[in-house]
Structure 1
Amino acid sequence: MQKTKLPQPYGLRLEMILAKGFSADEALKLIRRNDAAELREKVNPETAWESFLEYANAHEEAIEAAVRNGYEFPFLTIGGIRNLLFIKFGKSEERDYRFRDGRIERLRLTRPELESLRKRVPDYWRFAETGTEVGRSEETVEISIMLA
């Protein structure tokens, strides 16, 4: 099955919705109501939702496939990766990783988080494992992310 591809701005907005804990059906209903004010109220008051809603209306099948089956970014900047880490996993620079010379270093993720990230990030980004730690609940992997 071919992966659904979402442009960076729309994928990040979709992640904002999903990060609020909405189920797939709830997220799709929220998007289909086409109400930017509701999205500001329920998801993020500082985000401009109008262009996302225009995209979602024009690409309804892609949005539904992305919500239900996942997606990938066809193009993603390092800033986009940093935003994705914050939105999806609550990871922030200096607290959870270092950003140096256009690369992310010392980022710690669980294996499921790492796999989720890899599924979304284009292949021109390389993930290098720099360490592994087995904790009480899950294995944590330390990685660096850089251009391939």
Structure 2
Amino acid sequence: MENNKISMMDAFLIETLRSNGVSNDEILTKLEQNDLRTWENEYPNNRFSALITLFEEDQTKFKSILLDGYSVKFITMNGLKNLLKLKYDKIADRDYQLHENGIDCLDIDEQQLLSLNQLLSMNWVIQGQPLENNKPTSKLVNIVAAVTI
């Protein structure tokens, strides 16, 4: 499977829809019909026309983005916080701790960790270890800014 790279804004748009219960099939149907009215009315602060552009550039790639996953080209700290909230319902100070170079103590299951590893841009590194609790499939991870030389 090819690693599909998309912009942070495209990821936000997709995850905004998903976090509000919109299925991949519905996303594809609306884009095929070029019908964004419902989304524009429900989420007026978003520019869903960017998804139509991405969809029209390569429909096969767009379907792969939805079904197989994607990585974001570059993620800022605020982008990371927003994607964690939208995609995994993880919120700072409730589910993890912020620090100047990333986040600490994010409790995440193995499936989420796999998708997070794929999603993160190269400017972030995940460090993790198994949790010592009754959830053997959970990991406690830190996400830190990658050091560039």
Q: Which residue of 2 aligns with 1:141?
A: 139
Task: For 1:37 and 1:15, locate their aligned partners in 2 and report how far apart those are by CA, in whole Å.
Answer: 18
Deviates more, 1:7-16 or 1:59-68: 59-68
C-alpha distance in structure 2 between counterparts of 1:134 and 1:51, whole Å? 43
- Structure 1 ranges of 4+ moved more than 4 A: none
Please give the TM-score of this superposition, normalised by the length of structure 2.
Answer: 0.83
Q: Percent identity?
A: 23
CA contact (8 A) 2:30 2:36 kept: no
Aligned to 1:62: 61
Separation (CA, whole Å) in 1 of partners of 2:57 and 2:20: 24
The 1:115/1:134 distance shift into structure 2, 3 A limit, reads farther
CA RMSD of aligned residues (A): 2.2
The answer for the alignment partner of 1:27 in structure 2 is 27
Alpha-carbon distance in structure 2 between the residues aligned to 1:68 and 1:95: 29
* Paired residue total: 146
Gaps of 5+ in 1: none
Q: Which residue of 2 aligns with 1:124?
A: 123
Q: CA deviation at 1:107?
A: 1.0
1:96 matched to 2:95: yes
TM-superposed deviation, 1:104: 0.8
What TM-score, normalized by structure 1, do the two folds share?
A: 0.83
- Segments of structure 2 that go 5 or more residues without pairing to the other structure are none
